[in-house]
Chain A
């Protein structure tokens, strides 16, 4: 009896860990896409998640049907992504990485401020897609929305993977990150490719933000902590490595969930960062890192 309760509990932690981890993974993947194409660490990635979620909330409140609000919200986030590249990153072409990171921090503060004015400072939620009644799986209670988040992430991951490996455009993105000069020589417009990665990353962020809001709530400043966690996930998995980003995100989510459940929920964030520090001390290139050093 005692053992079975324990199993149920562990299963419970696993589900909630994977759900949060999927969000971190998506932010981490957004980081990775942009980083690979341009070596920019985009710390405004969390704001794309927030913009997707907050825009949906407010468009729906304005009377639009929820699906329409969601699509518009994704578009809004993508416009923000393109604008970030066009007006903040592209003009600073050739600046060193630290300057570019600081630009993205500035952009993130700007977007947060804008959201505070355009939206408001309160927490908001969205209705869950399939009700709030938990489904019991192996004794663990799982919100249907958690399954939506996981399924949504799976669809996004598979879609992104197919796009990157099965289309010539996807391979051009890989080529531009692999060797920008050679990419230019074959006629690839590298700045356009970099802009495309901002577009894809903002889409990725907005989608996951919309999916997860019924569980986690959202607010104008929800992006900050997500960017930090996503960055931690990237470092955990190995910077510049898409599978590493996903693995790092999921592991971070699980670590938080188990830490909160087994030790104390007060230390939830601390546990994640302690694990990150440990990995960085023992494996500075991250779990799946290896190619990282050649990009320095």
Chain B
């Protein structure tokens, strides 16, 4: 479904991704692991076009994605839940969700998706008229996921959805991701919470200073001694 092919990215003159290859197949949860500064967020930004490539290409469902302008990638079927949520703090919860469907014009389907998001996160329905900046961290994360879902994506990119959340909330977010997978969504999950991510993922990649160092099935990575020593603190 998604093919990252020898992708390089740079901020100014500093290259942060060195010829990264990664694939995501239809219906999978793939997790991208790695320490702070390894380039995980940059890779997601490359997929959504916020960070332009300096080399390589990205294909989505067989077509070149890196040639599509960033604001037109949502309608191709890719939505991102960015690091730090990045909700529109000044707008209401409902406005945030409706803007998630900015590129769509199918009113009935948008209403259906809004109802679906409210069913998935009932607290968002309760607070639909509240200013989004006033939500708690967990609620803001739900809103960020809900906003991405409103774009009606086939591939969902999640950037550290567990960041700053209490353990109980992390479990909830992970359960939600599994539920989204069951509903047919393909997911690329960037996480620092390695055990949580590997417990729900099908496959995983470990990114180290801009290169993929380890790749494999999630169950294998969980028992991989190198992963265990570097990321699971064992």
Annotate B40-74 by CB proximity to A: 1 below 8 A, 0 otherwise.
00000000111000000000000000000111111
Interface centre among A168, A179, A187, A188 (most CB of B within 10 A): A187
A164 CB, nearest partner CB in chain B, Å: 11
* Chain A interface helix/strand/loop/mixed: helix
Alpha-carbon distance between A186 and B85 when the two chains are bound, in angstroms = 13
Alpha-carbon distance between A70 and B98 when the two chains are bound, in angstroms = 37
Partner among B87, B89, B90, B151 whose Cβ is within 8 Å of the Cβ of A187: B151
Q: Which of B16-24, B99-107, B116-124, B203-211 contacts A (4 or more CB under 8 A)?
A: B99-107
Answer yes or no: B82 CB below 8 A from chain A CBs. yes
A-B pair count, CB < 8 Å, reads 69
Answer yes or no: A11 CB below 8 A from chain B CBs. no
Known: A171-B98, A172-B102, A178-B91. A187 touches B75 (CB 8 A): yes
Alpha-carbon distance between A175 and B100 when the two chains are bound, in angstroms = 11
Enumerate chain A residues within 8 angstroms of B73, measured Cβ to Cβ: 187
B107 CB, nearest partner CB in chain A, Å: 11
Enumerate chain B residues within 8 angstroms of A181, measured Cβ to Cβ: 50, 82, 86
Alpha-carbon distance between A185 and B86 when the two chains are bound, in angstroms = 10
Answer yes or no: B31 CB below 8 A from chain A CBs. no
Answer yes or no: A75 CB below 8 A from chain B CBs. no
B151 CB, nearest partner CB in chain A, Å: 6
Answer yes or no: B95 CB below 8 A from chain A CBs. yes
Answer yes or no: A225 CB below 8 A from chain B CBs. no
Enumerate chain A residues within 8 angstroms of B103, measured Cβ to Cβ: 186-187
Answer yes or no: A60 CB below 8 A from chain B CBs. no
- Chain B interface residue bracket vs A: 20 to 34
Interface pair B88/A182, CB less than 8 Å apart: yes
Answer yes or no: B80 CB below 8 A from chain A CBs. yes
B215 CB, nearest partner CB in chain A, Å: 27
Known: A185-B48, A185-B50. A175 touches B72 (CB 8 A): no
Known: A171-B91, A171-B95, A178-B91. A186 touches B102 (CB 8 A): yes
Enumerate chain B residues within 8 angstroms of A182, measured Cβ to Cβ: 82, 86-88
Enumerate chain A residues within 8 angstroms of B86, measured Cβ to Cβ: 179, 181-182, 185
Interface pair A179/B71, CB less than 8 Å apart: no
Interface centre among B79, B102, B147 (most CB of A within 10 A): B102
Find residues 216-233 in chain B having any chain A CB closer than 8 Å to their own CB: none
Q: Name the 10 nearest CB pairs between A and B, nearest first.
A: A187-B103, A187-B74, A182-B86, A189-B71, A178-B90, A178-B88, A175-B88, A187-B102, A171-B95, A184-B70
